[in-house]
Structure 1
């Protein structure tokens, strides 16, 4: 199988290498001349056999919209586009409907694994028609971790299902990371009692019910910088956590843990939180509690 891959940043470049190792022929295009295989989109299209398969691995939103629009203008009926970025599932349905008018097929695929995917493989969540997914199985098999296909790949449902599954995955990820972070802060607050914070987390890696890959990554980070002295406590969000909460509100599904994790990230961006000032002022008013002067 031979596919075109658009977007050769760190993750896209790793995916190209993983695909090639898995026996999939890949021609990649990126505006960066240092990493691209072809000079432009027409050259990419010309390099592919028909029906053509294009995997777009670019940032969600306007960039994805533009890439799909530009590449679809060069494709033919029966060709297929995969959006492997972190697009919102509602965008998938718009893209699919637009492409269908030209007879171009569309599949969305949520991809997890980050910078470790080249070595460990990627977790894949696909949405689309069964016939299209079946056709793409050699591609998915080359990217996913070794072992049973069900452990690392799922055809989650119709168009949009792959990105919806990835959206919820990221919402859960937010909550898990927040729990680890709060545990770390609590240990730090009890340095009189806990003398080896990295050691505690490392001990949890085997035999405990909380062992996980995120725990392994936390241990790795602590071994590199035990006090996180070189890291500012400012955390961005990619948008998918927000989308998870939005959809939960639309369907009256309570997601308090995920919501709290999102709001904690917002707090991290405030050097002097106005809401915490209000809480301090209220505590002084009703209880006479002391406040710290700025």
Structure 2
């Protein structure tokens, strides 16, 4: 199948290479010369021009977007003049699901199908395959199913057409919210063991023991075990945790639907807290304790 992969960041390039290995004709498109050079070295065609790429592919075409959520509309505006009836545009990034529903309606007016595909797998997807949560028109999904079967860990698992437009990115949003909570639980548990200095625990050893037979075994635990084996004290890593935005969307959706999601919400707030170098709230807490109880204040 002929595919234009727009966006050759690490994940986009990995997906393009997996598709190329699977026998698909892939042209990677990226404005960055360094990204194009690296992608060309990996064996598939590259281009700097959306117009030239689409002109080189037979109609109907498949265009896969792997760009940040904030530039999807801009990318679609560049694409739109070059799209034809029957083309399929797949957004494999972390777009907000309501934006995906809006874009689907917009492209329907141009007789182009928009598919939202929540994609999980990170930098390991090239070797292990990707988990794909697909939303959109069923007939279109079936027509291009070979693409999803190639990207997934196996033809019959790891991917699903989960529902109509927006459903794919909605499921990926919730997936990432769950991920926040799982990561926070592991982080707190290992911090607790690290502080139990009397036992002198080898955290990498504990993690490896948990990898087999434990009810808390998971891929996140596997990655934690690897990280702790390489750097037991996590030296050189700042206690600063970013968020992709999907945790925020998940919490907002939970509020809108009146669904309690305290673990996901608190895990998001902990990430926000990690970025405060000189917390005003903590300093005010210390000041209040001094005011009502005369408790000592530590000065900087």
Match of 2:267 in 1: 261
Please give the alpha-carbon distance, in whole angstroms, between the structure 2 residues aligned to 1:174 and 1:289.
Answer: 36
Q: Could you say what secondary structure the match of 1:232 adopts?
A: coil
Mean alpha-carbon deviation: is it higher for 24-33 or for 208-217?
24-33
Q: Shift in Å at residue 38 of structure 1?
A: 2.0
> Given that residues 133 and 159 in structure 2 are in contact (C-alpha distance below 8 angstroms), is that contact kept between their aligned partners in structure 1?
yes
Could you tell me the TM-score, scaled by structure 1's length?
Answer: 0.95
Task: Give, in angstroms, the shift of residue 156 of structure 1.
Answer: 1.2
**Structure 1 residue 111 corresponds to structure 2 residue 111:** no
* 8 Å contact from structure 2 (residues 63, 89) kept in 1: yes
CA distance, structure 1, for counterparts of residue 155 and residue 106 of structure 2? 37
CA positional deviation for 1:147: 6.0
5+ unaligned residues in a row in structure 2: which ranges?
A: 37-45
From 234, 249, 260, give the equivalent of 2:255: 249
The answer to whether the Cα contact below 8 Å between 2:194 and 2:201 also exists between their aligned partners in 1 is no
Which residue of 1 is the match for residue 17 of structure 2? 17
> Is the Cα contact below 8 Å between 1:177 and 1:214 reproduced in 2?
yes
Counterparts of 1:1-294 in structure 2, within 5 Å, are 1-36=1-36, 37-61=46-70, 63-146=71-154, 148-149=156-157, 152-294=158-300
Residues 24 and 138 in structure 1, CA contact (< 8 A), matched pair in contact too = no
Give the length in aligned residue pairs: 291
Contact kept in structure 2, 1:27 and 1:47, CA below 8 Å: no
Q: CA RMSD in A?
A: 1.4
8 A Cα contact 1:84 1:109, kept in partner: yes
Preserved CA contact (<8 Å) 1:22 1:142: yes
TM-score (normalised: structure 2): 0.93
Alpha-carbon contact 1:284-1:290 (below 8 Å) kept: yes
Q: Is the Cα–Cα contact under 8 Å of residues 29 and 47 in structure 2 kept in the other structure?
A: yes
CA distance in 1, matches of 2:200, 2:291: 36
What is the Cα deviation at residue 290 of structure 1?
Answer: 3.6
User: Deviations for 1:251-293, whole angstroms, at most 9, x for unmatched residues?
Assistant: 1111100000000011110112222223333444455544322
Residues 109 and 125, structure 1, Cα contact 8 Å, conserved in 2: yes
Long gaps (5+) in structure 1: none
* In 1, Cα distance between equivalents of 2:80 and 2:19: 23
SS of aligned partner of 2:58:
coil
CA distance in 1, matches of 2:127, 2:193: 32
Greater mean alpha carbon deviation, residues 33-42 or residues 256-265: 33-42
SS in 2 for 1:106: strand
SS at match of 2:240: coil
User: Using the alignment, how far apart are the partners of 1:208 and 1:115 within structure 2?
Assistant: 25
